[in-house]
Amino acid sequence: MRAPKAIVAGFVTGLGLAALAVPAFAQQKIDFFLNWVPGGDHAPYYYAKKMGWYAAEGIDLNIEPGKGSALAVQKVGAGANPIGLADMGTALVGKGKGANVVGVLNVYANSPQGLYWLKSSGIKGIKDFPGKKIGNPAGDAARTMWPAIAKANGIDPKSVTWVNIDANSKLAALKSGSIDVTTSFYNIHHIFKKQLGDDMGFVAWRDVGLNPYGNSVIVNAEFLKANKPLVAKFVKVTQKAFAACVKDPKPCVQALVEANGALKFDNEMQNWALVEVLMSDDVSRKVALGWHDDKRMAEDYELVKTYVGIEKPYDVKTIYTNEFLDPSIKMSK
């Protein structure tokens, strides 16, 4: 007995819809290693993942929390993770030690680094730091770059004592007096202000003569060489996501919070507002969002070489590329 035409038509239509639901190509898993635990500055990755933008390009993105830029550079450089997020100054140092990484998209056009203390401690500014204890995690980028900021302000880098503390213990350690100074990214400035109030002392590196590039998306060089089309797709989606989040941050932050239950929407919205300040400069506004400027990269290399040291010198142009960026996508602010 032949099936009615309507049933046959419905069956064929169903097959067609099923075929459309099956990816046209296999998804390639990428373990993306963050510089730190998820926060407002990471919202674009979670938003693009939620929206299926990575999946549409054949990328099954797994976002891994990090424990400092130094570790991110080590893991990506060794190939343990193909792609990561790290402070560019730390990446410059790491490459000189053999970490073969390439920056493909700059996130922080301005240095996010800041130093915090209590005014009641008697500290008035960075020149009062000698003899004091600075607390932060051992793998934090600020510790790697401390000699540069110290020497730029006429301070002996060895005149302070570094104390290993967990990132979540910074404020408590500062309040208790077990440390005198701590470091933090500007995108969580509002948290310090809320906790310390009028007693908060603060200085941003960019305001005391040092403004190297901050976080950049880095890729293992060998992985990049073997998977150029895939890296191009990752950068394409990520650049698009950052631009979308600048235009309308609420859905981006919501995606972040949904994926990380301990986070609070209002707090991460404030975080993101500060991130936009760090993302914006003449280059990101006029050339392209995510662009590494040749002159600034050369200056950052010399800065690191002079104040931190590069074990094995290399051509700075080998640690970054702008080839995957879309010049039509720019910072709007």
What pLDDT score does 23 carry?
43
CB 300 within 8 A of CB 214: no
pLDDT at 106: 98
In this prediction, residue 56 carries a pLDDT of: 97
Which residues, 6+ apart, have CB-to-CB distance to 64 below 8 Å?
31, 32, 33, 34, 81
Residue 283 has a pLDDT of: 97
Q: Report the alpha-carbon distance of residue 164 to residue 139 in Å, rounded.
A: 9
Q: What is the pLDDT of residue 148?
A: 83
Order the strands of the 215-220 sheet from edge to edge.
59-64, 28-33, 83-87, 215-220, 101-106
Q: Dig out the tokens for 55 from the structure.
A: 């999946």
Mean pLDDT by 10 residues, the chain (333 residues): 41 36 67 95 98 98 94 97 95 96 97 94 96 90 83 92 93 96 89 95 90 96 98 98 98 98 95 95 97 97 89 98 98 83
The beta strands (E) that lie in the chain are given as 28-33, 59-64, 83-87, 101-106, 113-118, 133-136, 161-164, 181-185, 200-204, 215-220
* Domain boundaries of the chain, sorted by first residue: 26-109+213-319, 113-207
Q: What's the token pair of residue 167?
A: 């990132």
Provide the 10 A C-beta neighbour count for residue 41. 29
Number of Cβ atoms within 10 Å of the Cβ of 190: 14
- Which one is the CATH code of 113-207: 3.40.190.10, 3.60.20.10, 3.10.580.10, 2.70.150.10? 3.40.190.10
What number of other Cβ atoms are within 10 A of residue 249's Cβ? 22
Instruction: Classify domain 26-109+213-319 at the CATH superfamily level.
Output: Periplasmic binding protein-like II (3.40.190.10)
Burial (CB < 10 A; 0-12, 13-18, 19+), residue 277, is middle
Count other Cβ atoms within 10 Å, centred on residue 7. 10
322/234 Cα distance (integer angstroms): 13
Do 26-109+213-319 and 113-207 come out as alike in CATH topology? yes
Whole-angstrom Cα distance, residue 195 to residue 189?
A: 10
Collapse the DSSP code of 156 into the 3-class scheme (helix H, G, I; strand E, B; otherwise coil) and give the result.
coil
Element containing residue 249 per DSSP (H, E): helix 249-259
Regarding pTM above 0.85, the answer is no
Instruction: Please tell me what DSSP assigns to residue 26.
Output: P
